[in-house]
Amino acid sequence: MGQARAQLLASLAATYLVLVSAGNIDNEIDMMWGNSKLVTDSSGQQAIALTLDPNGGSAMRSKNTYRFCRIDIDIKLVPGNSAGTVTTFYMISEGSWQSHDEIDLEFLGNSSGQPYTLHTNMYAKGKGGREKQYRLWFDPTQDYHTYTIIWNRDWTLILVDNKVIRQMKNKEMNGIAYPSTQQMRVYASLWNADDWATQGGRVKIDWSQAPFVAYFRNYRAISCTSYQTSSLCAEGSTNPMGWFNQELNDSRKQQLKEVDDNYKIYDYCTDTKRFQNGFPHECEAEK
């Protein structure tokens, strides 16, 4: 899976102190490969359609790179029998794969009538293996829903429809790798992963259902660097950038607890079969 992801990377990078972007998605996104195209959806809004068929998948990426940011995008996933397909939304650095950083959301398809699995992970300095998985509390194929990555020097958050589902704290002081030094670019793709995606690869893609299509719209990126003093990044700001310095309040902490209690289906920090000799150090540090 990692090597396939590496093929998506390009060598260009740019530096931005403060970047706020929102508008036509084609002004912010580059099509990469496969059948990716700009469309007008049923509501009349501009969207990008990524397609998977027997000829292959498709992908897109942000024109800009970011270091510390908030990224929002609306996604409508492949409906019906999506078994074997994976729709992704993630950020990744563009240097050496052995030392790369990545914040990962992968939507694992399933047989008709079965729920999607949202698979999340984070790599820092080439080290990953921090998987947590969730069932969503809605059907993500019936309408668009907003998926968000908030990444700053202190922690990384993943939100769904503005509800926090995962937090990853910066514990570099404890010797735990965290993505803090490399710029990252946003990517999205739709591809064939039926060797592992659905029930561990036991359920394969039904190509008679092709083409499989996922839709993306309303891309928004707000970026700050650690040395930026703009009021957009100020502590307590009512602007979304205020997330860069605020601790989670009681309401957000309760959201995390509710998601853990009701929607989380896998946590590497509780996988005793995988870690028979003790859990990774960050599992204790995140508490």
pLDDT at 40 over 50: yes
**Spatial contact of 158 and 149, defined as CB atoms under 8 Å apart:** yes
**pLDDT per residue as tens digits for the range 58-102:** 999 999 999 888 999 999 999 999 999 999 999 999 989 999 999
CATH code reported for the domain at 25-228+246-285: 2.60.120.200
What letter represents residue 23's amino acid? Answer: G
**Spatial contact of 157 and 164, defined as CB atoms under 8 Å apart:** yes
What letter represents residue 222's amino acid? Answer: I
Q: d(Cα 26, Cα 38) in Å, to the nearest integer?
A: 7
* Confidence (pTM): 0.87
Structural domain spans, the chain: 25-228+246-285
Residue 108: its H or E element: strand 102-108
**pLDDT per residue as tens digits for the range 231-277:** 555 554 555 555 566 568 899 899 999 999 999 999 999 999 999 99
Q: d(Cα 176, Cα 275) in Å, to the nearest integer?
A: 17
Catalytically active residues, by annotation: 102, 106
Give residue 38's Cα distance to chain centre.
Answer: 21
